Copies of this chain bind each other. A is one copy, B any other.
Amino acid sequence: METLISKFKKVAPKAALLMAVAAGAALQGCNKTGGDDSDKAVDSDAASAVYVAPGEHDELYSFLSGGFNGQMSVYGIPSGRLLKIIPVFSQFPENGYGYNEETKPMLQTSHGFVPWDDLHHPKLSRTDGMADGRWLFVNGNNTPRVARIDLKTFETVEIMEIPNSAGNHCSPYPTNNNEYVIAGTRFSVPLDMKGGTADVSMEEYKDKFRGSISFIKVDKEDGDMELDFQVLVPGFDYDLANGGKGPSNDWVFFTTYNTEKSATLKELGASQNDRDYLAAINWKLAAKYAAEGKAHEMPANYYHNKLDHGSFQAKSEVKKTVRYLLPEECPGMMYLLPAPKSPHGIDVDPTGEYMVVNGKLASSLPVFSFSKMEEAIKNKDFDGEVNGIPVFKYESVLYGEVKEPGLGPLHTEFDGKGNAYSTMFVSSEVVKWNVKDLKVTDRIPVYYSPGHLMIPGGDTEKPYGKYLVVMNKITKDRFLPTGPELMHSAQLIDISGEKMKMLLDFPTVAEPHYAQAIKADLVAPNSVKFHKLDENTHPEAVKNEKDVSVTRKGKTVTVKMTAIRSHLTPDNIEGIQVGDTVLFHVTNLEQDWDVPHGFAVMGANNAETLIMPGATQTLRWVPKQEGVFPFYCTDFCSALHQEMQGYVRVSPKGSNVPIKFRMGEKRPVPPATASVN
């Protein structure tokens, strides 16, 4: 297993070489002609393949992670059109997520309110190893968290912090029936054995730093998550994970790097050993150990935030303990497979027999065999151990190696027809190879520096092998230039034939790290169109205009308001004072699809909030100036939208202007629970 580094070792000092690898992404230069495309030669087959005519729908939903924007984005395939951004870990001024009172608790953590995260990996919930279209699990890579999105409403409904973790990167991986969602720490840290990290010097890395893998239970009916137990693992970095399937159903696999346990200079320090590891954990056995009393318990302090469906309100619960297993006390639960230096992705083929380790610095792609691993366990075919965890002999678990597939392999997916597709970050290509004979059969250049790739269902037992989406890290000249900061870029490739065919470049918001895709008919029919006003249990909801109110209690003024085309009720409010806390609880009385109303007040030290039909949302305002301030509907809703407006009067502190509001008794009052159209 020759690595790029060892290859070059003879001719240049290591440091310079690492830089060359690091910089490799940019070596291709810029091959764009640019400018006007009036004389473009159109490939009409490709054009037709990606064209979704007005009024038609895309064939597939694809869910691309937003990376450093902290959100999920939904793209239609094959059109490449952005259909929605779903706010998850970051504030979203567009609809008030993380600003309004209902959703602020979603972003609470043990560190306080955290307005941002780095969302890496989406994984669809599974039934019998296949994506079932119910939920999407996603990870917060910075402040360790796992979130769940409900695909009936395309909303984030749950966010759970992960204790004993630092950078929740190899996460979240559901088992084949969502028995567990598994989340591994990226960085090891010195655990304080109270769920957090300890105040120790980085000099003590080798002795005191430790990793953790979390096993989160998922409720079969409603999807609610619960942290069942953790496995405390050696102080490596953990990069990516994937679950087994078929024969390997009970196992989950993790790539590791920095098995050198270097606390500094990681680009050198974590690249010393010729081999790092693929870690294998038998999650069923782990669960059994945990259930049978092998688990220890430690105090902890982590947030678990849930959005209540009926009231639209998020609530935080702080959890106070966490259970953990130690591998050295649980024989047969965890093993290490020697893997090429600093591996990135680990991908298990649809049969569950082959585990592909993408060694970013390696010149070959090793494929491990699950049946050989089982055999090696039986035969105790080990080559020592680390922290009590047996290490297999490389040859005893290796199926074979794909020789010189390209430079910088990062990720692999499968088409269900016996083929694998791997991204080569440094040589900027997708390489197709045969899983049985490990021969490369096709390669296609991609622009530039691909990270993840995704075949719809390509990580399940039955891939839908028609399209491949490759997510590139460098965009440079692929689209019209937009200054120094560019969108990332995805490319859609047709993989239905023997040779891959490039169909489309499409820009992607922020940085998609991974994606999932699913046939539209598994999601679309269940999509909720509006909330039923009758079922709205928000404590401040008003379901009829006659019940609106403005009341003062000390320095807090509560406004219960309604919105319906084309008025807000009440629309004149007086008696507010500078420094009051004003809570506008706005209920959207509409009962039809796609008639949101928005609510904002001039000079508000907050975002607006967008209110879906049937829902109630709350905007908090602390006026700083006296005067008269307009408020209005922010989402153009009708021909009289510009008239959907009111005023709030703010008097000085201590003023004797009484609370007063105008109901608008002369305006047309539609029946509160019926549609107006």
Contact = CB atoms under 8 A, between A and B. Distances in A.
Given A15-B667, A57-B479, A267-B667, A36 B520 contact: yes
Nearest to A266: B643
A93 interface: yes
A594 B486 contact: yes
A18 B668 contact: yes
Instruction: Identify which of A15, A23, A24, A567 gathers the most chain B CB atoms within 10 Å of its CB.
Output: A23
For this chain, the copies found in one complex come to 2
Given A24-B639, A42-B48, A630 B35 contact: no
A510 B634 CA distance: 11
Contacts of A47: 44, 47-48, 51, 53
Interface string A26-57: 11001111111110111110111011111111
Contacts of A144: 602
A115 to B, nearest CB: 6
A237 B187 CA distance: 57
Given A23-B565, A70-B93, A667-B265, A629 B197 contact: yes
B482 A74 contact: yes
Interface stretch (A171-179, A198-206, A537-545): A198-206
A192 to B, nearest CB: 6
Contact of A524 (B34, B42, B76, B527): B34
A91 interface: yes
A516 to B, nearest CB: 15
B82 A82 contact: yes
A323 to B, nearest CB: 21
Nearest to A209: B628
Instruction: Identify which of A99, A239, A655 gathers the most chain B CB atoms within 10 Å of its CB.
Output: A99
A187 B265 contact: no
A297 interface: no
A632 interface: yes
Contact of A35 (B186, B478, B524): B524
B483 A200 contact: no
The interface residues of chain A, by DSSP majority, are classed as loop
Contacts of A382: none
B668 A16 contact: yes
A482 B83 contact: yes
B54 A40 contact: no
A481 B154 CA distance: 9
Interface string A617-637: 000000011111110101111
Nearest to A530: B484
A647 B200 CA distance: 11
Contacts of A598: 68
A271 interface: yes
A491 interface: yes
A608 interface: yes
Given A480-B57, A593-B476, A650-B199, A642 B344 contact: yes
A54 B19 contact: no
Interface stretch (A279-287, A456-464, A499-507): A499-507
Contacts of A606: 115-116
Given A27-B677, A54-B447, A625-B111, A603 B35 contact: no
A347 interface: no
B628 A198 contact: yes
A57 to B, nearest CB: 5
Contact of A85 (B509, B602, B652): B509
A121 to B, nearest CB: 13
Contact of A529 (B114, B142, B481): B481
Nearest to A573: B202
Given A55-B478, A90-B607, A629-B197, A112 B624 contact: yes
A340 interface: no
B35 A483 contact: no
Given A23-B565, A596-B485, A574 B202 contact: yes
A476 B192 CA distance: 52
A15 B31 CA distance: 63
Nearest to A204: B628
B603 A111 contact: yes
A105 interface: no
Contacts of A484: 153, 528-531, 593-594, 596, 612-613, 615
Contact of A198 (B76, B476, B503, B627): B627
Contacts of A43: 51, 53
Contacts of A565: 19, 22-23
Given A22-B638, A54-B478, A82-B509, 9 more contacts: A16-B668, A34-B57, A47-B51, A54-B491, A69-B93, A84-B507, A99-B116, A114-B604, A271-B643
Q: Nearest 10 pairs between A and B by C-beta?
A: A197-B627, A111-B603, A47-B51, A154-B483, A116-B607, A90-B93, A481-B527, A22-B638, A69-B94, A15-B668
